[in-house]
Structure 1
Amino acid sequence: MTAHFVQVANAERLAADVMADVMTPPPPVDYLRWAEDNIIFTERESPLPGPYNRDLFFYFDEILRALSPDDPCRIVSVHKSAQLGGTVLANIFCGGSLAMDPGDFLYVHPTENNAQRWSKMKLVPMLKGTPALTKLFPMKARDGSDSVLYKERIDGKGAIQISGANSPASLSQVTMKRQVQDDLSKWEMNNAGDPETQADSRSQAHEFAKILKVSTPLVDPGCRITKSFEDGSQEKLYLPCPQCGHMQTLEWENFLANLDEDKPENSHFVCVDTECGGVIEEHHRPAMFKAAKLLELNGVEVWRSENPKAKRFHRSFHLWSAYSLLQSFERIARAWLNARGDPASEQTFFNDVVGRAYKTLGEAPPWEGLRDRAAKSDHPKGRIPVGFPIVTVGVDCQADRVEFQVVAWGRDYRRAVVDYGVFPGHISTKECWAFLDGLVRQEYANGYGRKIGMDLLAIDGNAWTEDVWGWAKRHLSSKVIMVRGVPSESAPLLARVKKERSRSGKLLSYSKRFYNFATSVLKMGLYRNLVKDDPLSRGHIALPRGLDDEYFRQLTAESRRAKRLKTGFIAYEWVKDPAQANEGLDTHLQAEAAAIKFGVRSMPDSMWDRYEADRERPPAEAQYEIEDLMAPGLPYVPPAPAAAPALPTKKLTKAKVRRGKWMNADG
């Protein structure tokens, strides 16, 4: 008889192994060491390829320490300028967490499109190029554990979910130990409420969760990352003066006071110690970083908090381009010289270079002041003043009328309002089409008596889109475009609508000449420029005499107001007085959108020279007195030209606008 032996597991030993596995403390989570051992930049990713260099990213050391489990804080906010390495910081936190302390990780972007792009262009290369992660994420699964927005460790011990803040479904029914809230300032309300509150709640169940909020700021008030920074410890990096060793921050105001306009390459900081006053130049930064690092090793705090009571729960850090060894002082100076005076460019500069939210002028200037200034203008309605050779038109469609505004453009973002009018009728009628055809052909006399036609017309295509397109397609795309305003403060000034499709999914033909424009950004810029009195100042708006009071009321009809939501979050939006029409504002912004499309914001001086030479001279057929032509030593001043033929316009009154009616100019 054959004996059979059965091997039975030792239950006591199994229990001991499990207990040992549970009781053994995890290895320390050291993001700095992990970055040095694993992060390698390619030439495509960085101008300085190679292994992660702490000397280049010295300012990240303390932030990475704050993200480790050894620091008791729960939230870490990084309020920064652009191109400072924020993505690198977030990737180290994400990749290091998945490798060293596995668990579920949430990475939230402003939109799902952003999330998909980051996954393909940043995450996948990191997983493939980092040996510590490649073996954990082979990315060959076909069972749902590997997709664009979800990737799971091969051992099932952790996963990363990539979400968009605009998708409440992706921010629900998940519990995450760690998360990154990227580009936080660009997050907008979704149909379930405040996405930041929704994302924060995903880590509520974890007592020792870590949430990294990182973003370049946008507009204040209402900037999410600015609010997060102010709620936290408000830490700034202090560096020793290269001359006297006095610890200080590099502040924009210090740099601006020492910015050399004639020689931007000589721009610098000055030591804040009055007894020193030494010059701090770009070449001093590496040595200042090394000295600060040594001071830190000796127990000196280089990151100093302005709100230390918040440090245990929420650490917040501010960084800007002056601290980056990849950004020269000269480039910072030139960027400011190019941006100053133009609100849209200034906003980009303060956001991307200084790392500060742009302080908005939310209230419109008083309309009475604008009216009084226009009454003293030396150019009348219907005339193009000298210095504004480009002409654009904005058209707004209402249920019973179309309204238009003509604006001329000059160098340095300056503009002049030329005309404003109203025509009765719906955009679908033949009479309205005939009027708009005439508007396209309309010419206005400039200060030299030369008749100038419009260069580009932008018509609102948001309402009655097919009717608008029916008229617009009868004209060249170089003469007529359709536009639609979008309220997002992070939207580009002008962007072509790429996915305008019919209900059947067919790409609509008008999408090729349909553009979104950033209404909020343009409104802020308009209101800042309207208060400029100096005609030579950058961005100045020349107003003509002869416009009705109603135009100025409409131009200043909106203001940016706070709105408290049910979640407690305060959102900001542009609000119109319900008793006041705002087509004067809308048509002006549409004309500006046309100007942006035409290229006035990026037109080189050589092109301005050509337009001025062609248009800013007397017409060839003009006749003058022989004495005028032969007077020696006197500058020639052309006689006043005849008034331009007026378009059929209507004079609005506030009461009539409310009732949707109008009245003729003669009453």
Structure 2
Amino acid sequence: MTVLYNPERLVFDVLAEATEPPPAVDYLAWAKKNIVFSERITDHPGPYSEELVPFFSEILRALSPEDPCNIVSLAKSAQIGGTICANIFTLGSLDMAPGDFLYVHPTEENAARWSKTKLMPLVRETPSIAALFSQNSRDASNSVLYKERIDGRGAIQAAGANSPAGLSMISPRKQVQDDLAKWQMNEAGDPEVQADSRTKAFFTGKIFKISTPMVAPGCKITQNYQEGTQESYHVPCPHCHELQELKWENMRDHIDPEHPEKAHFVCVHCGCEIHEYHRAWMVKPENGSKWVAKYPDRARRHRSFRIWMAYSPFERWENLAREWLTLQQGGPERRENGSGAEQTFFNDWLGLAYEADNRAIEWETLRDRAEEKGFKRGVIPAEALALVIGADVQGDRVEWLLVGYGRNRYRAVIDHGVIDARAGSHQPGFKEHSGHISEPEVRAALDRLLVREWIDESGRKRTADRLAIDGNAYTEDVWSWVKRHPKSRVLMVRGGNVEAAPPIAQVKEYDKRGKPKKSKWTSRFFSFNASQFKLRLYRDFRKDEPERPGYIRFARGFGDDFYQQATAENRVAEKTRTGHSRYVWVLPPGKRNEIMDMLNQSLAGAYRFGLPYWTDEEWDAIEDRLSRIEAPAQGDLEDHIAAQTTAPVPKRAALEGEADQSPLLAAALARAARAAQRNR
């Protein structure tokens, strides 16, 4: 059989096929066609719905090659669905525009967890993606942190910002920088600069930076938002249809404390009320809602967006109002992000960086306030229901500070002293001493400190509930003293330098291969977020009304040097080797900061006991326990002198027993009893 063909046409057909541009990369259309969320991944299972989160559509368009910008940044509230955008960008790129892709988390541990719990479930549940990757766990191209397409046309590498190695040896055309505000400097410098440099070789490269803000100045996602177009989502008023941005201050000023369920905005144009049931209509683009850029001229390089909880279908306005009212009324903190309830509210709910007090209040102000409104030194105020000692270990002495805690994050600085080898006792002031923690006399004095009694305003004798001692220096010597005492009374603490860390976490040590190893003091040694504790301390120093949450009250007579040490450090910008800035705490030359350290060590001890999260019921149990302690009969002057000079050294059996009747222990037992009753 003869086959007729036109050689010239065949040549043109081949040329046309070779030169035809690839199909448009449309992430929104791809998500609608391919993404189906399971109940394991989200509380809103089913196909991707643009109607549910219409404000993300423009962000997905900005990530497309059709948009000329190279950087897209998103500052957002927590749990608003921003990671969905990042996952669509990641998987859609591997499907529609194959190539190397980098996904960076704050740490390698976070990256591995994301790969196992977020990425792989989506890969397995998305047929178009599942067919691209090997499902064999033994395949070298399918590890937790590296997954290559079967045809070799692209791969995704997950990395941690804390590992310079993970940010090298790869040149991705596209990347995601997740939780950017939590990134910390690594051994090679600024990880954001390192990650950005991996994509600079591509004219059409895309970098998606996404995070909930943290503390400003110094918040990376906030800096990126400010450097870009600064786009905010504007919605029409359901009454007059004029566009406006939903701002927190607008809602805050119209919250009725008696009816938080009626939380609403007020239209800035017509003055009518905008309620939550209007939200679904307002956010739809067909009704006029849109992103509005403050600096549209920057769109060619960097488009930046901010979206917060008020627009999200995943949270109710009533809960937002209740959270704010709880904060104003001094309710217990419910999140362990190390920055206090106020910062948590700004970060997680409003999607805003919390403006930090980088410098403390003038020390003279604290001193004068203490002399005017303070209490007698060594006498426990009625509001101080729990007592925690912070102890700082120096080469020639051990200093201690007794702090009382109460409702509404109240703190009272009650007493302070120094232990040295010669005196073996608690000496006020800051004289030069020569007592190291390893000396028997110093250890004996610390033993006596644990059983020392202070008088409260009702005349009752009370001992400290817990002691948190500095274990950062002379760790072995500190441990040899700590281990002689029960876990319920004594723990070791040290300050950490990671701003995004939890308030307190168990100290972890690693072997040469980077694997965790168990140390003898693992269960007794804790690291606290020193940076956030200092920020909180400086905020609370400024509060001069006792009713305000976090108010700190000082005893009279501590002296100038005491307050100078409490306010010694400043948070300042420091230039890195790459020319970028990071914020660090600095102690000026010639100054000391032991008082600040002991305030934070004491707070770490309180956190370890869960004290900042106690409910009113738990505080009531402690108050009731204290009210049943009888005040001793009034003695004469000789009795008081004898009580101060003959404090007994505790026996080992008593120190190691768990039966000391401290208020904190009694509260813990009361909580356990109530839990048992509820279970029955």
Equivalent residue for 1:442? 452
For residues 365 and 56 of structure 2, what CA distance do their matches in structure 1 show? 50
Tell me what 1:514 maps to. Answer: 525
Q: How far does residue 614 in structure 1 lie from its aligned partner after superposition?
A: 2.2
Give me the whole-angstrom Cα distance separating, in 2, the residues matched to 1:115 and 1:47.
23
Output the CA distance in 2 between the equivalents of 1:612 and 1:19: 86
2-side partners of 1:101 and 1:501: how far apart? Answer: 41
The code of the aligned residue for 1:318 comes to R
The answer on 1:324 being equivalent to 2:326 is: no
| Structural mapping, 1:270-289, within 5 Å | 270-273=266-269, 276-289=270-283
Aligned residues with identical type, % of pairs:
50
2:153 pairs with 157, 167, 188, which one? 157
Please name the residue that 2:286 is paired with: 293
Q: What is the Cα-based RMSD across aligned positions, in Å?
A: 2.3
Does the CA contact (< 8 Å) of 2:108 and 2:163 recur in 1?
A: yes
Task: Identify the match of residue 493 of structure 2 among 476, 483, 492.
Answer: 483
1:347-378: CA deviations, max 9, x gaps? Answer: 11100110000000010111111111111234
Alignment correspondent of 2:582: 571
Q: Does the 8 Å contact 1:35/1:52 carry over to 2?
A: yes
Q: Work out whether residues 382 and 457 of structure 2, in 8 Å CA contact, stay in contact via their aligned partners in 1.
A: yes
Q: Name the residue aligned to 1:532.
A: 543
1:382–1:644 contact (8 Å) kept in structure 2: no
Q: Deviations over 1:514-554 (max 9, x none)?
A: 11111111111111111211122211101110212111111
Which residue of 375, 378, 392 maps to 1:379?
Answer: 375
The residue type equivalent to 1:565 in the other structure is T
- Structure 1 counterpart of 2:666: none
Distance 1:37 1:550, change over 3 A: same
If the length of structure 2 is used for normalisation, what is the TM-score? 0.87
Task: Name the counterpart of 2:206.
Answer: 210
- Secondary structure at the aligned position of 2:495 is classed as strand
CA distance in 2, matches of 1:358, 1:643: 50
Instruction: Provide the residue aligned with 1:98 in structure 2.
Output: 94
Question: How big is the shift at 1:474?
Answer: 0.6
Map 1:114-263 onto structure 2 (within 5 A). Answer: 114-140=110-136, 142=138, 144-263=140-259
Displacement of 1:456 in angstroms is 1.1
Q: Is the 8 A contact 2:482 2:490 kept in 1?
A: yes
User: How far apart, CA to CA, are the structure 1 residues paired with 2:128 and 2:25?
Assistant: 14
Q: How does 1:603-618 map to 2 (within 5 A)?
A: 603-616=614-627
Q: Does the 8 Å contact 1:106/1:180 carry over to 2?
A: yes
Q: Which of residues 302, 313, 333 in structure 2 aligns to 1:314?
A: 302
- SS, match of residue 376 in structure 1: helix
Q: CA deviation at 1:209?
A: 0.5
Work out whether 1:266 is the aligned partner of 2:262.
Answer: yes
Deviation at 1:261, TM superposition (A): 1.6
Per-residue deviation at 1:646? 5.9
Cα displacement (A) at 1:138 = 2.4
Measured in 1, the distance between the counterparts of 2:511 and 2:153 equals 43
Distance 1:643 1:599, change over 3 A: farther
Q: CA deviation at 1:182?
A: 0.4
- Separation (CA, whole Å) in 1 of partners of 2:194 and 2:521: 38
CA distance in 1, matches of 2:89, 2:479: 49
SS at the partner of 2:454? strand
Asked if 1:497 corresponds to 2:507, the answer is: yes
Quote how far apart the aligned CAs of 1:642 are.
Answer: 7.0
Answer yes or no: is 1:42 the counterpart of 2:38: yes
Q: How does 1:639-658 map to 2 (within 5 A)?
A: none
* Aligned pairs (5 A) from 1:1-80: 22-80=18-76
| 1:295 Cα deviation from its structure 2 partner | 2.8
Residue 144 of structure 1 and its aligned partner are, at CA, apart by 2.2
Structure 1 segments unaligned to the other structure (5+ residues): 1-10, 297-301, 625-640, 649-667
> Compared with structure 1, are the counterparts of its residues 176 and 483 closer, same or farther at alpha carbon in structure 2 (3 Å cutoff)?
same
Deviation at 1:497, TM superposition (A): 2.3
Partner of 1:428: 438
Which of 458, 470, 473 matches 2:483? 473
Aligned partner of 1:452 among 462, 469, 474? 462
Q: Is the 8 A contact 1:382 1:646 kept in 2?
A: no
Distance, in Å, in 2 between the alignment partners of 1:602 and 1:596 is 8
Give distance in 2, aligned partners of 1:181 and 1:420. Answer: 46
Aligned residue number for residue 83 of structure 2:
87
Question: In the comparison of the two structures, how many residue pairs are matched?
Answer: 614
User: How far apart are 1:426 and its partner, in Å?
Assistant: 1.1
User: For residues 397 and 621 of structure 1, what CA distance do their matches in structure 2 show?
Assistant: 34
Shift of 1:467: 1.2
Write the letter of the residue equivalent to 1:194.
D
Q: Does the 8 A contact of 1:443 with 1:644 survive in 2?
A: no
Deviation for aligned residue 1:108: 0.6
Question: What are the Cα deviations for residues 50-103 of structure 1, in whole angstroms up to 9, with x where unaligned?
Answer: 111111111101000100111111100001010011111100000000001111
Give the direction of change, closer, same or farther, for the CA distance of 1:132–1:612 in structure 2 (3 Å limit): same
| CA shift for structure 1 position 623 | 6.5
Distance 1:163 1:388 in 2: 47
Q: For 2:146 and 2:612, how far apart are their aligned partners in 1?
A: 42
Deviation for aligned residue 1:644: 11
Deviation (angstroms), 1:44: 2.0
Shift of 1:48: 1.6
Read off the aligned partner of 2:356 and give its amino acid letter.
Answer: T
When normalised by structure 1's length, the TM-score is 0.88
Inter-CA distance 17–515: structure 2 relative to 1 (3 Å threshold): farther
Q: Is the 8 A contact 1:84 1:321 kept in 2?
A: yes
Alpha-carbon spacing, 1:612–1:115, altered in 2? closer, same or farther (3 Å): same
